Structure 1
């Protein structure tokens, strides 16, 4: 495995301490870490999966678009954070494929950018949204 930039190591370290569910992805969209609160929502432990490529992530969970979002809200928040180098917030339906549980989640994604202005990856913080 290639050595990670120090910024990504620090992001992963911080994510491990947070109470809110967090996913950390690299520039290819590969999930390089998710914390324990995220494990509870995703239904699988990071120790069991390790790094997850985008295709495998799509097999674990399905995100559907927010019907209340405008035309700009149809994208994938992590992809937007990586490609457009900006934070994004969205409401999505998350379907855990293993047990078919469907949850409405709010999520905020933002890019990780180093001092040389290179995008190193992105972070998504998400939480279950109560009610309709």
Structure 2
């Protein structure tokens, strides 16, 4: 009887070990399938992301070229405007004869009529300014027209 029990116990052990091994193999196969499925999904997502990144880079490069073109055209416009308003001729005769003399005359005009200008800035009317400063109303109106 001892021998039969030993054989029975050994048979049960062999069967449980074989069942354990087959279950383990199926789990490994199932895990490998799941792992390969996740790797495929990850690869697809990486490909999509790389495509999106490449398209965004291309868009950025296009915008960069557009901005540089716009900046160069604006620089050209500024240079053209500078040439219009800042003449190249800087000889002393040109400065003394035209622009500097006009600035001096304007400054003299402002100094001479500063009372009229300050009263006008305070909100007084031309007839009130003329009466206060003992000047003609037409003179006050002329000064106000010239400073506007």
Shorter-chain TM band: under 0.3
Indicate the structure with greater helix content. Answer: 2
TM-score by length of 2: 0.18
TM-score by length of 1: 0.19
- Highest relative contact order (Cα 8 Å, sep 6+), 1 or 2? 1
The structure that has the greater radius of gyration is 2
Indicate the structure with greater strand content. Answer: 1
